[in-house]
Every structure is written in C-alpha cells, then in structure tokens.
Amino acid sequence: MAASERPETPKDGGGYGRGGEVVKKKGVAAADRLRRRILSEWRGVYVPPDLSGYERRIGDLVARVVQRSGVGDRLAHEEIAAEWEKMVGPFLAAQSRPTALRRGVLEVSVVQSAVRYELERQWKRDVLKRLKETFGENRIRDVRFIPG
C-alpha cells in the first residue's frame, strides 16, 4: 500500500511506523509514564505518579475492617454485659453472665443447671424481649443458655 493510498489513521486507532506498517498506540499508562519521565528529565526533578485514583476515605475503610473482624459484635457484647444485671435482676445476674455474641445469638453461661432450666423455660422470652427493646431487633435474634 502506497503512502498516498492509505487513510490518515488506521482503523484500530494506532499509527504508522517508518516502513508504513501499522503501529498500535501504547496504553494510557505507558504514555503517562513516558510523559512523566520526559518532564522529570526536562525539569530535573522527579514527578511522582498521580495516585488519586487509589484514594479511599478512611471512614469507609475502618467501617469495612470493623465489620469483617467482628469487633462490632464484641462491642455489642460489652454493652450487653454492662446492662445484664438490669435485664435479669441481681440473683440471676449472680448465677449467669453473657459470654459471647455471634451472628445475633447471645450466649449466656449459667453456673447451676437448675437456674439454667428456669432461664430457658420461664425467662427466655422475657429476657429476649428486653434485650431487643434495649439493643435493637437487628443486633440480637436469640439467646442461648449454656452450662458454665
């Protein structure tokens, strides 16, 4: 193909080399690196790359890390443990303590099996209702009493 017969630019967006062969354009990243290198040589000062595309808000990052690590459940567990005596009264609080909150299920460790039986049969609905009212429906779905 003679130089007069070829279109001004090839269809694929490239250019023409010395021998008339089609040369594809370099990627944007390569062109940007070349531009930075030429400017830094001309100015005599290093021009760092633009990293603004990688910036994230620290609040978004912290929220994601807290959610993935389960710290939110541990913080909720600490709040529940602080309020436990008000929820169940002094006698039951002396016999039991909240030990963990996992996926909305509060595990309560109970010292005596008779007290565990009473909590399971008579107090569970009432305790769960109070916990949901105080800490929200989404935070606590169920209470499980375990020996301990």
> Quick check: 94 and 120 in contact, CB under 8 A?
no
Element (H, E) at 24: none
Residue 58 to residues 61, 62, 63, 64, 65, Cα–Cα distance (Å): 5, 6, 9, 10, 10
Alpha-carbon distances, residue 146 vs 57, 114, 127, 136 (angstroms) = 42, 12, 15, 23
Q: Cα(26)–Cα(34) distance, rounded to whole angstroms? A: 10
Q: Looking at residue 108, what is its pLDDT? A: 92
Does pLDDT of 124 surpass 50? yes
pLDDT at 18: 53
Of 89, 73, 70, 74, residue with least CA distance to 130 = 89
Q: Which of 17-21, 101-105, 126-130, 137-141 has the highest mean pLDDT?
A: 126-130
For 55-107, the pLDDT digits (tens) are 778 888 888 887 777 776 777 778 888 888 888 889 988 999 999 888 888 89
DSSP E strands in the chain: the ranges are 15-16, 22-23, 96-102, 105-110, 142-147
Q: Which residue has the higher pLDDT, 49 or 116?
A: 116
CA 87 to chain CA mean position, Å: 32
Reported CATH class of domain 69-147: alpha beta
Mean pLDDT for all residues in the chain = 79
Which segments of 49-138 are extended strands (E)? 96-102, 105-110
10, 27 Cβ separation under 8 angstroms: no
CATH 3.30.300.180 maps onto the chain at 69-147
For 2-61, write each residue's pLDDT tens digit: 555 555 544 544 454 555 555 555 567 788 888 888 888 888 887 777 777 777 788 888
Sign of the dihedral defined by the CA atoms of residues 130, 69, 145, 147, in that order: negative
How many whole angstroms separate alpha carbon 55 and alpha carbon 41? Answer: 27
- The confidence score (pLDDT) of residue 59 equals 82
